[in-house]
């Protein structure tokens, strides 16, 4: 899934990339080409994070993610993408992301992009931006934990019903003899 957001900033490319690098670094993102961050001719930079092979039951913030910033005379394009552990490939298809996570993934990617917008275009405080995205990620982890609990509860109930069924069948079989 990919989310794209465009905004205008008064920062120079070096300043925008440096601030983005510091901000995204707090969340475990690393520049794919860190040596070129301070190159004045650099017009785009890509950050990534996440496990190489995330498990299906990992929370979404552990999935492979990529954020790309492209700078063109003050216009910044942010493209944020996430890879489903189901498909394991970069895709624009929402069908590769489990349905329970579709809306959350979309909101998460746009939250990353708009937080960068507030940080770079409106000279927002890095602390405020950190707090907003941290809160969003914390809520995302809580939602994941709730869904896991729900799945476990349903599994336990199904196993209990199945056990009861086999006990009834066994008792009926004993009474027939």
Q: What is the pLDDT of residues 25-62, one digit of tens each?
A: 988 899 887 655 556 677 888 999 987 777 767 777 78
List the beta strands (DSSP E) in 17-171. 30-31, 44-49, 65-72, 75-82
Taking the domains of the chain in order of start, what are their residue ranges? 2-176
Residue 18 confidence (pLDDT) above 90: no
The enclosing H or E element of 5 equals strand 2-8
Entry pTM? 0.74
Nearest to 62 by CA among 48, 76, 75: 48
Tell me what the mean pLDDT of segment 132-157 comes to.
85
Tell me what the mean pLDDT of segment 74-85 comes to.
87
At 161, the pLDDT band (50, 70, 90 cuts) reads: very high
Burial of residue 93, with CB atoms counted within 10 A of its CB: 0-12 exposed, 13-18 middle, 19 or more buried: exposed
pLDDT at residue 177, as a whole number: 62
pLDDT at residue 38, as a whole number: 58
pLDDT tens digits, residue range 116-131? 998 888 877 777 778 7
> Measured between alpha carbons, how far is 85 from 75 in angstroms, rounded to an integer?
33
> Measured between alpha carbons, how far is 111 from 132 in angstroms, rounded to an integer?
9
pLDDT at residue 50, as a whole number: 85
Residue tagged 């476990």 (tokens): 152
Nearest to 119 by CA among 22, 14, 51: 22
pLDDT at residue 163, as a whole number: 93
Largest Cα–Cα distance of the chain, in whole Å? Answer: 88
> Measured between alpha carbons, how far is 136 from 27 in angstroms, rounded to an integer?
12
pLDDT at residue 159, as a whole number: 94
Domain covering 2-176 in this structure, CATH number: 3.30.310.80
- Check if the beta carbon of residue 81 is closer than 8 Å to that of residue 96: no
């Amino acid at each position: 899934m990919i989310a794209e957001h465009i905004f205008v900033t008064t920062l120079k490319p070096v300043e925008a990339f440096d601030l983005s690098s510091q901000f995204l670094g707090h969340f475990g993102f690393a520049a794919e080409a860190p040596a070129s961050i301070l190159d004045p001719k650099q017009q785009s930079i890509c950050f990534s994070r996440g496990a190489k092979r995330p498990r299906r039951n990992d929370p979404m913030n552990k999935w492979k993610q990529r954020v790309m910033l492209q700078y063109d005379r003050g216009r910044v394009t942010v493209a944020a993408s996430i890879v489903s552990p189901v498909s394991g490939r970069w895709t624009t298809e929402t069908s590769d992301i489990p349905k329970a996570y579709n809306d959350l993934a979309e909101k998460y990617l746009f939250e990353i992009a708009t937080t960068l917008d507030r940080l770079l275009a409106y000279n927002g405080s890095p602390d405020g931006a950190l707090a907003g995205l941290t809160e969003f990620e914390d809520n995302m982890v809580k939602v994941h934990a709730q869904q896991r609990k729900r799945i476990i509860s349903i599994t336990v109930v199904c196993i209990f019903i199945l056990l009861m069924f086999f006990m009834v069948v066994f008792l009926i079989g004993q009474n027939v003899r």
